[in-house]
Amino acid sequence: MEKRILWTLLLANSIVLALYSPVMSQDQRPWTAFKQPRSRPQPPQASPEKWVLNPIDAFVLAALNRSEIHPAPSTDRKGWIRRVTYDLTGLPPTPEDVVAFTEDVLPDEVAYQTVVDRLLSSPRYGERWARHWLDVARYADSDGFGQDADRTNAWRYRDYVIDAFNKDKPYNQFLIEQIAGDELDETTYESRIATGFLRAGPRLNYREKDNPERRYDYLDDVIATLGRGVLGLTVQCARCHDHKFDPILQKDYYSLEASIFGYVEVEYPLLPEDQAHAYRRLTAAIDEMQRIPQEQIEELEAPYLERMILEVIERDFPEEALQAVLTPENQRTAGQRLLAAQVLTPRILSISGISASERARRLAEEMTPEDLARRQVLLDLIEAADLERPEEPAMAEIVTDGDYRYTPDRAGDNVLGCPECRIKMEEPGTFLHEGPGRYEVPPSHFLIRGDPFSLGPEMSPGFVTVATYGNPPTEIPRANGLTSGRRLALAQWLTSPQNPLPTRVWVNRLWHHHFGRGIVSTLDNFGKIGDPPTHPELLDWLAVEFRNRGWSAKEMHRLIMTSDAYQMASEYENPDNLANDVENHLLWRFRPQRLEAEAVRDVIMATSGGIDLTIGGQPIFPYVPEEILSLVNENDGRWDNQPDGPHAWRRSVYVYRRRTLSYPFFNTFDLPDQNVTSAGRNTSTVATQSLTLLNNPFVLGQARLFAEQLEKEAPNDIAQQINLAHLRALTRPPTNEEAAIARQLVEERSLEDLTHVLFNVNEFLYLR
């Protein structure tokens, strides 16, 4: 009894500590990342002044001067136009663009600005920079995990992001739409599609009703993405306890969770509002008409499926699994209950090689005539109801508020499983609220040690205490009463002028993609175990400037790319600089950067002339060898293999993103984990990259296409072919030595061998 009382007191005390929420003054905030810049820092006086093209250069040069480091000279015009074109569009400049720029007689300031403006107005810009955000958003076209089901309309969110960059949608509006696009005073198809950000992470969507704890894992995925991707904080580390390093309370985690707790994932018809509601009501009524006969079919098939499953378990699984299944439910140990839940599922049949068609054949053979006849009657009822179903309009995968406890059955919910595990609601309710009255968010609880089965007190919505100034609203009531307004309040807190983190994180990410390293190199961790900023005053200046320029990414591109810092050469040796800053943290020369996976493929196709620049729409499925596809079960996921050819040569941002089967070419060049938010990419140098460029059929085909294009443009003129090949691949003519080697190669082998070699040279793969 004494132990129980002591444990209760300790537990109560831990809850009180977790819920304690101190108010912090500006000077009490324990880490510079959380401090607000009181005003925009003044650019320092730095010499030589002729190097300072804009305020960015003043900050960079002042830091170099303090360390007695000399900046590199500017790169030449050919080098700069190649750099800026790759950087903004992910494609090489055309020889015509290079000639026009190098021969432009306008002053450098005007000529450079003209090129940047031209590239920013290109639709290629949105495709390039959307890919950076899609990494943050953990975007994919499939669910992930074992089933890895297709997300038929996920691509609409991808197109929303591309369009947002091309339109230069202000970043604050961009964030608000993705978090609360359905809660705006005026919602649009676009703003609703934007909420796909919240559901872009991996989901099982299989036997969800048997595993209600998954709801908290999905919420954790959203919190981790908002934390790392927007705030630059590892908020998810406070799920089970206060953060070990940063001043983030466990109470903060569950306050954030309460802010998003009402969200549910739905398919939304892209119709006028009244038609959309009518469509959803009609389809819901038809679904209900089909529910009972479908459940009766499953009851009829259950004993036959159980026999098949038992055969598979006995044949393919360890004895322990069979014993767990054969033991009566009320006599199973905890381990046996878990094991039985894992194997008592029809998916075990497909894992063991019994396809859906084989399963149907066996059911037809083994069911009694009476059961077959009864099943056919039920199937006829389902088919008759389907005849009343309206044609499906264009649909979007969105988020809105609802009650997850009443989520309609989805694929895999009504299978052999764990009925005793399921949420049991004593009162009737609805998945989506359509009135009367106002929507109420289901109760959201503090979880003791993060355990979804150990509920603490009910939580109210809130934010991260250390990054909250004043008393911002945590709920903004909506006029229609259909949603809570909590996500809208969260979005407005994130984009508030008083919140110092999102603007810092965003401009730091822009800096990283331009210079190869962020001012804070840990792009998604501005906390204590993240790296400190190399230029803290510059980071604050950029963050305030970004807000003052209307949260415009294009304005920041213009500012950064017309600086002397961005125009520095990458090839510059200085022993004193190396001694004082061997890793170039202070940016005394431009960092060479290997192109990311998608850009490698795009640049190859652009150089060969085969690229299809069609914008948006359904994803493509470049060819994957059958021996790789055969390793993936036929019932899991989707890959509509397309033979290599022009129809598959669209830009890589449009390649289907399957979580359990990444396009192998991308994996070779360091595609990040598609299941979690990724602020930046690792860059490796491994043998498989060279082997891929040497032997991959796609690369060989593009080299052949490149050679054919050169022969058309300069027939029977090897010297001109060699010159054009270098201009297209490397943005420069060959040196005399290169021209001699190339001529020998073409004469002894073929022009195709030369184009293949150019795809493999280091210079082709690097932004310099």
Closest CA to 195 of 253, 264, 149, 136: 264
Position 513 pLDDT exceeds 70: yes
pLDDT at 209 over 60: yes
Cα separation, 303 vs 308, whole angstroms: 9
| Alpha-helical segments (H) within 530-585 | 536-548, 553-561, 564-567, 575-580
Say yes or no to pLDDT of 31 above 80. Answer: no
Asked if residue 10 has pLDDT above 70, the reply is no
Determine what percent of the chain is predicted with pLDDT higher than 90. 74
For range 68-87, the mean pLDDT: 96
- pLDDT-derived band at 11, boundaries 50, 70, 90: very low
Phi-psi region of 732 (alpha: psi -120 to 50; beta: other; left: phi over 0): beta
- In which element (H, E) is residue 455 found? strand 455-458
Backbone angles phi, psi at 445, to 5 degrees: -110, 150
Give tens-digit pLDDT for 153-208: 999 999 999 999 999 999 999 999 999 999 999 999 999 999 999 999 999 887 78
pLDDT in tens, 106-148: 999 999 999 999 999 999 999 999 999 999 999 999 999 888 9
39-76 burial code (b ≥16 CB/10 A, e <16): ebbebbebeeeebbbbbbbbbbbbbbbeeebebbebbe
Residue 24 has pLDDT above 50, yes or no: yes
Q: Which residue has the higher pLDDT, 513 or 212?
A: 513
Query: What pLDDT does 16 receive?
Result: 41
Identify the pLDDT of residue 17: 41
Q: Is residue 510 predicted with pLDDT exceeding 70?
A: yes
Q: By the 8 A CB rule, do 738 and 102 touch?
A: no
Q: Judge whether residue 28 has pLDDT over 70.
A: no
Distance CA(329)–CA(323), nearest Å, equals 11
pLDDT confidence tier of residue 18, bands split at 50, 70 and 90:
very low
- Give the span between the Cα atoms of 683 and 767, in whole angstroms: 13
Please give the distance of CA 86 from its chain centroid, rounded to a whole number: 21
* Range 326-348 average pLDDT: 81
* pLDDT tens-digit readout, 528-587: 999 999 999 999 999 999 999 999 999 999 999 999 999 999 999 999 999 999 999 999
Phi, psi of 92 (to 5 degrees): -80, 155
150 contact partners, CB below 8 Å, separation of at least 6? 141, 142, 637, 638
| Residue 751: predicted pLDDT | 98
Strand partners for 742 = none
**Of 447, 398, 472, 38, nearest in space to 238 by CA:** 447
- pLDDT of 656-688, one tens digit each? 999 999 999 999 999 999 999 999 999 999 999
The per-residue pLDDT for range 249-271, each reduced to its tens digit, is 999 999 999 999 999 999 999 99
Q: What is the pLDDT of residue 644?
A: 95
Q: What three-state secondary structure class fits 178?
A: helix
Residue 93 φ/ψ, nearest 5 degrees = -70, 150
Answer yes or no: are the C-beta atoms of 472 and 145 closer than 8 Å. Answer: no
Closest CA relative to residue 89, chosen from 528, 557, 546: 557
Query: What are the contacts of 96-102 at 24+ separation with CB within 8 A?
Result: 98/727, 98/731, 101/77, 102/77, 102/78
Q: What does the pLDDT read at residue 12?
A: 46
pLDDT at 649 over 60: yes
pLDDT digits (tens, 9 = 90+) for 453-485: 999 999 999 999 999 988 999 999 999 999 999
If you average pLDDT over every residue of the chain, what do you get? 91
Under DSSP, the state recorded for 459 is: P
- What pLDDT was estimated at residue 20? 43
pLDDT for 30:
54
Per-residue model confidence (pLDDT) at position 47 = 80
d(CA 201, CA 690): 32
Structure-token match 């919240």, residue found: 198
C-beta separation of 639 from 624 below 8 A: yes
397, containing H or E segment = strand 395-401
Q: Which tens digit of pLDDT belongs to each residue from 372-417?
A: 999 999 999 999 999 999 999 999 999 999 999 998 877 667 655 6
Instruction: Give the pLDDT confidence score for residue 8 in this predicted structure.
Output: 45
Q: Hey, what long-range contacts does 286-293 have (CB within 8 A, 24 or more apart)? A: 286/385, 286/386, 286/388, 286/389, 287/408, 289/381, 289/385, 290/381, 290/382, 290/385, 290/386, 291/409, 293/378, 293/379, 293/381, 293/382
| pLDDT reading at 25 higher than 70 | no
- Per-residue pLDDT at 53: 87
Q: Which two tokens stand for residue 714?
A: 């300069």
In the numeric block, which tokens belong to residue 340?
């039985």
- Judged by DSSP in three states, 292 sits in helix
pLDDT higher than 70, residue 633: no
Q: Which two tokens stand for residue 298?
A: 């499953």
Distance CA 284, CA 389 (A): 10
